[in-house]
Chains A and B, each alone.
Chain A
Amino acid sequence: MVENRPFLTFLTHAFLLCGFVVVAFPVYVAIIASTHDAQTLMSTTMPLLPGSHFIENYRTIFTSASAANGLPAYPLMAMNSMIMAIVITIGKIVISILSAFAIVYFRFRFRQLAFWIIFITLMLPVEVRIMPTYKIVADLGMLNSWAGLIIPLVASATATFLFRQFFMTVPEEMMEAARVDGAGPMKFFKDILLPLSRTNIAALCVILFIYGWVQYLWPMLVTTDPSYYTLMMGMKRMVAVQDGEVQWNLVMAASVLAMLPPVAIVIFMQRLFIRGLTETEK
């Protein structure tokens, strides 16, 4: 804003701060909780200042906490989550960018139909089609396998739709110039569309990585073998203890740790975002 109105500045900042507090407070509480012992969290009101059990709690997470809850080791679960999130991200981007390329740049019968079928699947949440999906995966014998964990989650209508929208903003002359320059369709895709989509890919990476990282319902359904457990499933099991007290301090420590990879991805991709925003390339 160019105009200088102190009251408006104050108001906007006040709103900004309120919003920030609402969003950040639960995260803050989680971090604080992970530094106390279980006793403090259960007996008194929730403390708002850091406690003295930070190192102890986090060490327990990496050493004995998993075994105590009948779970595989924390690093293994983290690795499972990581593999799942990364493969889903890459798979989704590869498949959706190629299908968007086909839909936008090739003239074939049922092109519109293909687009609409993809688009309609956007309108159903995963949970609605989870039974048929489970049935198919079970019939194909993919329960308790990486394939079963990942493949059903790889197709992405959202990403296809976004890439389609982006490709439609690329001037048609670009494709025609490439044709005159002797670039076939795949060469055009590789040399021109892919570099131009770089910032879109970076943005989608962040969104899709987080999507894969926080998957909970699907992994729980298709895996019973503890060696495929992901972090989200592990944490759920730590909360759902049969008798005795939930060790909230450990659960919170595990949650805080689980937040780190997505944060790292956002920070890493941020550099690409900013580059993409400052160099407007069209």
Chain B
Amino acid sequence: MASIDIESVGKVYTGNVRAVTDINLAIKDGEFIVLVGPSGCGKSTLLRMLAGLETISEGAVKIGARVVNQVEPADRDIAMVFQNYALYPHMTVRQNLEYGLKNRKTPKAEIDARVAEAARMLEITQYLDRKPRALSGGQRQRVAMGRAIVRKPSVFLFDEPLSNLDAKLRVSMRGEIKRLQRRLGTTSIYVTHDQLEAMTLADRLVVLNGGKIEQVGSPLEVYHTPASTFVASFIGSPAMNLVKAECQGDKLVIGPAMISLNGYAPTSGAVTVGMRAEDLRVVTGDKGMPFAVEYVEELGSQRLVHGVVGDQSLTIALSGETEIPANMRIDIDPAKLHFFAQADGKRISAADRSGAAADAPSPAPVA
């Protein structure tokens, strides 16, 4: 068990290619941290720097108060689970599990006990004498986790461990990883590009983009108060609707439509407004905004209605039974609107209204 301190860590590859910039993160003992972001955001690089598989160009990494920048991976008291499992193909499952312990000159009796315990925990006891190629993907994944568990490290590092599994197995393994981590109480860092995996596993989410931290917070914090348009569009499925709009006093103007803000206006001028698909609702009469339906995706429990308000596309999540009227109008509770500056995509919260208002008029478009 150990806490981890990541202090202004950066990674520059030869040729001045910058992969990670100024990461600061304090991870508490026993915490489950998920690094999430699109491919190329530096999340794997960061994990590999923690593991010692990449050198740390800038800053310091401390595992349990010890600076490990120059420490070999084997001596960092970590265990890593790889995306392609990286099991040794010529060894049996048992030998795979034992290998790390043998290299540490652990006594034979102790090795046997730990392997037996890990195998029981992961329900792979009956496969111990098979070779990895005789196992299914899910079983290999368990062996890869077993190899990490037997070491009893103070930190688990997971590098997209579930992305080679099929969707159903992924869900069940996800639950299992979570349960195992709770049970062992080991500090864990998990890298994924799957926002759902990130939401379900994390104690705290770290959203990365372009080698920088966009937001750190619990899954619900990140979901309900995304710090930027990037986080808003990345976390949650379907992605949050982001539309260009203008605050005019107590009104929000979206193309030809207009909704009342009921005093929730945080700023004035051009903004990007975020609306969760499930916060939008169908209204009758001539309230709300006219919504031209383009197509409907049926998910069974939900139906996702895609359409446009003016020239801005929106997606609404409705419960499965909701009728879709011919001339649909939609509305949203103004308290559930998210406002972002158009210039840099940062969230405009009630607290910094005055500051954001000054920036807001700048017409720079946000991608």
B79 touches A180 (CB 8 A): yes
B90 touches A195 (CB 8 A): yes
B99 touches A176 (CB 8 A): no
Hey, which chain B residues are within 8 Å of A279, CB to CB?
131, 133
Sorting the interface of chain A by its residue count into under 10, 10 to 19, 20 to 34 or 35 or more gives 20 to 34
Hey, which chain A residues are within 8 Å of B104, CB to CB?
182
B133 to chain A, nearest CB (A): 6
Interfacial residues of chain B within 59-101, with CB under 8 A of chain A in the complex: 72-75, 78-80, 82-84, 86-90, 99-100
Hey, which chain A residues are within 8 Å of B78, CB to CB?
180
Interface centre among A173, A174, A182, A282 (most CB of B within 10 A): A182
A280 touches B51 (CB 8 A): no
A171 touches B84 (CB 8 A): yes
A179 touches B72 (CB 8 A): yes
Q: A180 with B103: in contact, given A171-B84, A173-B86, A192-B88 (CB under 8 Å)?
A: no
Residue of B nearest to A198 (CB): B90
Asked if A222 lies at the interface with its beta carbon under 8 angstroms from chain B, I say: no
B86 touches A174 (CB 8 A): yes
> How far is B133's CA from A177's CA once the two chains are assembled, in angstroms?
17
Number of interface residues of B (CB under 8 A): 25
A181 touches B100 (CB 8 A): yes
Asked if A191 lies at the interface with its beta carbon under 8 angstroms from chain B, I say: yes
B72 to chain A, nearest CB (A): 7
Hey, which chain A residues are within 8 Å of B83, CB to CB?
173
Q: Number of contacts between A and B (CB, 8 Å)?
A: 65
B82 touches A173 (CB 8 A): yes
> How far is B147's CA from A182's CA once the two chains are assembled, in angstroms?
13
B80 touches A191 (CB 8 A): no
Asked if A196 lies at the interface with its beta carbon under 8 angstroms from chain B, I say: yes
Q: A179 with B86: in contact, given A187-B103, A279-B133 (CB under 8 Å)?
A: no
Asked if B53 lies at the interface with its beta carbon under 8 angstroms from chain A, I say: yes
Residue of B nearest to A174 (CB): B86
B61 to chain A, nearest CB (A): 15
> How far is B78's CA from A280's CA once the two chains are assembled, in angstroms?
31
Given pairs A171-B84, A176-B82, A179-B72, 17 additional interface contacts (CB within 8 A): A173-B82, A173-B83, A176-B51, A177-B82, A177-B87, A177-B88, A180-B53, A180-B74, A181-B147, A182-B74, A182-B104, A183-B99, A187-B103, A191-B88, A192-B88, A192-B90, A281-B133
25 contacts between A and B (CB under 8 A): A171-B84, A171-B86, A173-B83, A176-B53, A176-B73, A177-B82, A177-B147, A179-B53, A179-B73, A180-B51, A180-B73, A180-B74, A180-B80, A181-B74, A181-B99, A181-B103, A181-B147, A187-B103, A191-B88, A192-B90, A195-B90, A198-B90, A279-B133, A281-B90, A282-B89
Identify the 6 closest CB pairs spanning chains A and B, nearest first.
A182-B74, A181-B100, A173-B86, A182-B103, A177-B86, A281-B89
B residues with CB within 8 A of A: 51-53, 72-75, 78-80, 82-84, 86-90, 99-100, 103-104, 131, 133, 147
A residues with CB within 8 A of B: 171, 173-174, 176-183, 187, 191-192, 195-196, 198, 279-282
